[in-house]
Amino acid sequence: MKTLKDLNADESGIIIGISEINDDVLRLMSMGLVVGAEIKCEGLSLGGDPKFFSLYGSQITARNNTLHFFKIS
């Protein structure tokens, strides 16, 4: 199953599930990364981690070690 970690620049997805809840996941959920949210990867840092995303008109960054908990379609 594809996760947010798998998105490359200019790719989008819809969050369909969250595999684990921890403090980092809760922080991202409070910023709008919830089931049903449409999210777009706007770019990557030089080493590919963190990634930059846009959703609901805002931009956020997140690291791959947290992004793999968010399942997308």
Query: Is 24's pLDDT higher than 90?
Result: yes
Fold exhibited by the domain 4-72? SH3 type barrels. (2.30.30)
Query: Is 66's pLDDT higher than 90?
Result: yes
Query: Is 21's pLDDT higher than 90?
Result: yes
Q: How far is CA 40 from the centre of its chain?
A: 8
Q: Residue 48: which pLDDT band, with cuts at 50, 70 and 90?
A: confident
Q: What is the DSSP string of 13-52?
A: EEEEEES---HHHHHHHHTT--TT-EEEEEEE-TTS-SEE
Minimum mean pLDDT among 1-5, 23-27, 46-50, 65-69: which range? 46-50
Query: Is 35's pLDDT higher than 90?
Result: yes
CB 62 within 8 Å of CB 53: yes
Q: How far is CA 57 from the centre of its chain?
A: 15
Query: What is the pLDDT at residue 8?
Result: 93
